Amino acid sequence: MKERPILVAVIGYIIGILGGLYFPFSIVPCYILILAIYYSLKTSFTNQKRNRFQLLSFRRYRKYLKLIINRKVIFILIILSSISNTIVLYQNKQYENAYQEGENIQVLGVVVSQKMEKTYYNLYQIKVFDSKPFNLYIQVSKKSEELAYGDKVKVQGEYQKPSKQRNYGGYDEEQYLKTLKVVGKVKVKELEVIAHKHLSKPLQIANEVKVKIKERIETNFEEENSAILKGLLLGETSEIQEEVKEKFQVSSISHILAISGLHINYIVIGIQILFKRVIGKKKIRIFTITFLIFYCLITGFSPSIARATVMAIITIGAEIVYRKSDIGNSIAISLFIILLYNPYLILQVGLQFSYLGTIGIILFSPTILKIFNIIKLKKKRVIIEKIKEMLAVTLSAQIMVFPILVYHFNLIGVYFLLTNLLVSLVIGPIIILGFFSIGIKLFAIPVRIGLSYLRLIAQFSQLPFSKIYMATPSIIFIIFYFVILWIANQIYFIYHLNHLTPTQKRVKNIIALFRYQFRKKRKIYLKYMIILLVFIIVISLLPKKLKIYFVDVGQGDCTFIVTPKNKTILIDGGGSLTDEFDVGDKIVIPYLLDRGYTTIDYIMISHFDQDHVRWIVNGYARIQGEKCSNGKTV
């Protein structure tokens, strides 16, 4: 087995972060206890005499476990996880201390974001000049002067602590803001601009370039195409309408709106095409690394682009010094850099999708491609082989992110294979020509056609059965899913590799031994399985306790009841008085899915005030195909 100490170190670092996030105590005492138990068990197993053959025994398979988890691995895991766990626990205390500050505060900071326009105010993010490396949102009246990126400001106002999770499985603003290093919001009463362009020169230049690019895109494209192209080239999705975002998500193509390895690959390809013959191989690699770093500055160092950029720089850097890069170490190094900057980024959905999708492609695409190649065609055509490769990449990434996708969004797009195949045919030219269209307006014509094509693919979300809602899986199920997936992939390789290592041969023999033992005692095992199945069915049929949940829907009421016979009842469903926020889609449906229920047996309405019934009435109207607005009944 190839040793990757960096990968082991990152796994240990992640373990420590997760321990700090979900447990309020240090994991170091736990390690001491586990090691004590291990050595006591090791002594007892060593002293036992081996009387007879045992298929299932710790002693028999301990030597195979040592091949993966040896003393060196355990040492690295313990040290790195202890360090990261201490860091997270310390930062948790820092955040708690920041939350306990007085209501009226005065801070000095620098603006590190563009203006975020809200209905009644403008929102900015500022980096506070303090010993604590925290940021704040400042809520500024629209009547006040507009702030610019890099402005040094003195702010006085009312501090608002971020809200915690209000419902089971619901949105946790406090956890989300930690991924941005933000400790809350200040409703500004007094604002003074002390200086302009107070950030470092590279950041200021990158921001000016970004503003110019956005202006050019807005000039060359109409509003809807402009918003999508900003997402494709800059990762700016704030201007894309929620309806369009939802269509992209249901069609399983929303990943193209987040800057990732796909974009970095096409940027590298574009640079190679343009400059390779002009400045030579070595200089083009140095120029590519420089451009990628600058591009990261422009797009704001999101986790997905940081991963792709670091991996690309490592690969290109290895070529410069005539070394071969290891993709496993590249992934580990990029993730370590990101989590070293902010350990709370492990909670960010974009980071989880980016890394799991990449790992899925690395692990499973060769296996899936081999399965596809079983289908023999009379004539091998290049286009068919390319389609196979695209489908293998899409399917392998989707298999890996599937449980995380369901965990966060509770739905899967049925047509994801077809939509991703169609998108992969045009996304490269759209990205490359999109950059050209910034400087040369003539290129805007094919880009506009490409963006219309993407919007057409997004319409797959409107087809019948385009999405399936699923209950939120448990963490145990997700872990079990990944373990089974990894085992299945390893077994496939063991049975299809021509040259096996000694360890792989031993594993293959163990599998054969298990199959032999099962055939030998097949009737006994079948009896046990039937008894277990009957037991599970009986347990599921037994009456349970009556459960009553009160759902926080803001203004209004919503009660969810589960009867002893597992019937579900929803009493009222909440509903806002305006169309700005859909209580049903944003709160009630996610709550029911987080509780593990995908159907409602009975819906009861206490009275017909909009804040009690609007979501239910609008939902009924959509099902019936009738229009219903402003809370009017159907």
Q: For the chain, first and last CA: distance in Å?
A: 66
On the question of pLDDT at 65 being above 80, the answer is: no
C-alpha to C-alpha distance for 357 and 311, rounded to whole angstroms: 14
Min mean pLDDT across 60-69, 268-277, 389-398, 574-583 is at 60-69
Q: Name the token pair of 149.
A: 């990126």
CA-CA distance, 129 to 155, in Å (whole number)?
Answer: 12
pLDDT tens, residue by residue, 314-349: 888 888 877 777 888 889 999 999 999 999 999 998
Q: Which amino acid is at 403?
A: P
Give me the helices (H) in 302-443, please.
303-320, 327-341, 349-372, 382-409, 416-424, 427-439
How far apart are the C-alpha atoms of 86 and 26, rounded to whole Å? 7
**Which pLDDT tens digit goes with each residue over 574-587?**
776 555 667 877 88
In whole angstroms, give the CA distance from residue 103 to residue 517: 70
Of 556, 560, 561, nearest to 607 (Cα)?
A: 556
**pLDDT tens, position by position, 75-101:** 888 999 999 999 999 999 989 888 876
In this structure, are residues 19 and 12 in contact, taking their beta carbons and an 8 Å threshold? no
* Dist CA 397 CA 482 (whole Å): 13
Contacts of 553 (CB under 8 A, 6+ apart): 573, 574, 575, 583, 587, 588
Q: Residue 98 has which token pair?
A: 């920041």
**Rounded-to-integer distance, Cα 56 and Cα 567, Å:** 42
Instruction: Give the burial class of 454: count Cβ atoms within 10 A of its Cβ; 0-12 exposed, 13-18 middle, 19 or more buried.
Output: buried
**Residue 179 pLDDT greater than 60, yes or no:** yes
Contact 451, 228 (CB under 8 A): yes
Taking only the tens place, the pLDDT of each residue in 566-575 is 899 998 887 7
Question: Distance between alpha carbon 285 and the CA centroid of its chain, in Å?
Answer: 30
**C-alpha dist (Å) from residue 370 to 365, 392, 499:** 8, 9, 16
- Whether the predicted pLDDT of 110 surpasses 50: yes
In the predicted model, is pLDDT for residue 629 greater than 60?
Answer: no
Q: Which residues, at least 6 apart from 579, have a Cβ–Cβ distance to it below 8 Å?
A: 629
CA 49 to CA 487: how far, in whole Å? 31
Determine the distance from the C-alpha atom of residue 266 to the mean position of all C-alpha atoms in its chain, rounded to a whole number.
Answer: 22
CB-based burial label for 259 (10 Å; 0-12, 13-18, 19+)? buried
* Count, residues in the chain: 634
Per-residue model confidence (pLDDT) at position 261: 77
The packing angle between helices 223-234 and 242-250, to 10°, is 60
**Closest C-alpha among 277, 226, 232, 210 to residue 429:** 232
| 456-492 pLDDT tens trace | 999 998 888 888 888 999 889 999 999 898 888 888 8
Question: Which residues are 116's β-sheet partners?
Answer: 123
Task: Quickly count: other Cβ atoms within 10 Å of residue 437's Cβ.
Answer: 23
Compute and round to an integer the Cα radius of gyration of the chain: 28
Distances (CA, A) of 410 to 317, 463, 592: 40, 19, 10
Higher local confidence (pLDDT), 134 or 137: 137
CA–CA–CA angle 137, 140, 146 (5° rounding): 105
Angle 315-321-323 (CA atoms, 0-180°, nearest 5)? 60
* Cα distance between residue 28 and residue 375, in whole Å: 53
* Centroid of chain to Cα 544: 36
559 sits in which H/E element: strand 559-562
> Where, residue-wise, is CATH 2.40.50.140 in the chain?
102-199
Handedness of CA 205, 207, 211, 217 (dihedral sign): positive
Looking at the domain that runs over 102-199, which CATH code has it been given? 2.40.50.140
